[in-house]
Structure 1
């Protein structure tokens, strides 16, 4: 029995017997699962390989985040080195090291 058929039977049962809490919960649960399946199909994730695709996308996203973090750390590291080098050059110029070398 498909989800659509089960949902239709539950709706008929609710209409005939009155909607008790158990029937209403079953209707809500089946409707939610049916809607989730439809959304997955519309997103192109309704096939058997979708789980593998999502796993690969998560790995790719994780690698991107790692690369982005590494790039920021390298940028900050090189920026600090450049500032320190400029500071040392400024100190050397201030002390007149250029005159001592010539």
Structure 2
């Protein structure tokens, strides 16, 4: 008996006998399973290689996060260096050391 048949049977049982808590929980569980399988089929993750696909996607996502963090750190480093260079240049102009360059 597949899951859709199981769900149909549980719904029929609930309609005939009334729906107690156990039957309702079983209906919810079976409906969740059917829905999850349908979703996995729609996105193409219902085969044996799905585990490897998800593992590769996680690795790719982690690599993207690492690259993004590295790029942000590099950008902040360049910004700090530029500000420090501007401060040094301003200090040199303020102290009058630009006369030495002439």
Q: Same fold (TM over 0.5)?
A: yes
C-alpha offsets along residues 33-59 of structure 1, whole Å, 9 cap, x if unaligned?
Answer: 101110111111111111211111111
What is the match of residue 84 of structure 1? 84
Query: What is the correspondence of 1:1-102 to structure 2 with a 5 Å cutoff?
Result: 1-102=1-102
Residue 19 of structure 1 aligns to a residue in which SS?
A: coil
Unpaired runs of 5+ residues, structure 1, are none
Q: Take 1:101 and 1:35, find their aligned partners in 2: how far apart are those partners? A: 76
Q: Take 2:99 and 2:8, find their aligned partners in 1: how far apart are those partners? A: 94
TM-score when normalising by structure 2: 0.88
Q: Count the aligned residue pairs.
A: 102
Q: Take 2:85 and 2:24, find their aligned partners in 1: how far apart are those partners? A: 72
TM-score when normalising by structure 1: 0.88
- 1:17 Cα deviation after fit: 2.5
- 1:101 Cα deviation after fit: 4.2
Q: Highest relative contact order (Cα 8 Å, sep 6+), 1 or 2?
A: 2
Q: Take 1:35 and 1:98, find their aligned partners in 2: how far apart are those partners? A: 75
